């Protein structure tokens, strides 16, 4: 099953070695605050994948912007709110670039994917609480 994952260039060494690992990603999680100041909505502690290359590119651009931001900085408007970088997150990496992974997800993992209910009706998106192995990576390319 071919799926895409948007990320940022500083994560590539770890992804190439260990695959997509939700426990590693958790310390870099986005926070979403709504326009009226309400708490961010619940998201799974998981790896997110999509059938849409455009969606993966958009997320990769957002992710790279996040990595380039200083802790506590608001980075983008989205979903009637905005993303911000957690104040405890690592310092900014100004050279971070958007990256998309094309993955051939193994059948045993594909059977365990959960539909991402927040996804648009125009494409499918999934989350998975396990590791997507590095061997699933078919191609890595910049999203810019």
- pLDDT value of residue 71: 85
- pLDDT value of residue 28: 57
Domain count, the chain: 1
- pLDDT value of residue 72: 81
| Residue-number span of the structural domain to which 57 is assigned | 2-142
- CATH value at residue 25: 3.20.170.30
- pLDDT value of residue 17: 94
pLDDT (tens, 9 = 90+) of the chain, 144 residues, equals 999 999 999 999 999 999 998 865 555 566 655 555 555 555 557 889 999 999 899 889 988 988 898 888 877 765 555 677 777 778 899 999 999 999 999 999 999 999 887 766 667 889 898 999 999 999 999 866
For 75, phi then psi, to 5°, come to -120, -25
- pLDDT value of residue 110: 95
- pLDDT value of residue 123: 73
- The string of DSSP codes covering the chain is -EEEEEEEGGGHHHHHHH-B-HHHHGGG--EEEETT-PPPPP--SSEEEES-HHHHHHHHHHHHHHHHSPTT-EEEEETTEEEE--TTSPPP-TT--EEEEEEE--HHHHTT-EE-TTS-TTS-EEEESS-B-GGGEEEEEE--
User: What pTM value is reported for the model?
Assistant: 0.85
């Amino acid at each position: 099953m071919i799926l895409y994952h948007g990320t940022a260039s500083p994560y590539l060494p770890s992804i190439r070695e260990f695959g997509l690992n939700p426990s590693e990603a958790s310390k870099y999680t986005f926070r979403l605050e709504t326009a009226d100041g309400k708490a961010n909505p619940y998201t799974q502690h998981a790896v997110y994948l999509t059938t849409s290359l455009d969606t993966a590119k958009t997320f990769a651009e957002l992710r790279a912007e996040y990595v380039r931001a200083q802790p506590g900085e608001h980075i983008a408007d989205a979903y009637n709110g905005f993303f911000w970088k957690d104040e405890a997150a690592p310092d900014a990496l100004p050279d971070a670039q958007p990256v998309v992974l094309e993955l051939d997800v193994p059948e045993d993992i594909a059977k365990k994917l959960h539909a991402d209910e927040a996804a648009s009706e125009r494409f499918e998106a999934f989350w998975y609480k396990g590791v997507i192995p590095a061997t699933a990576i078919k191609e890595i390319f910049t999203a810019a």
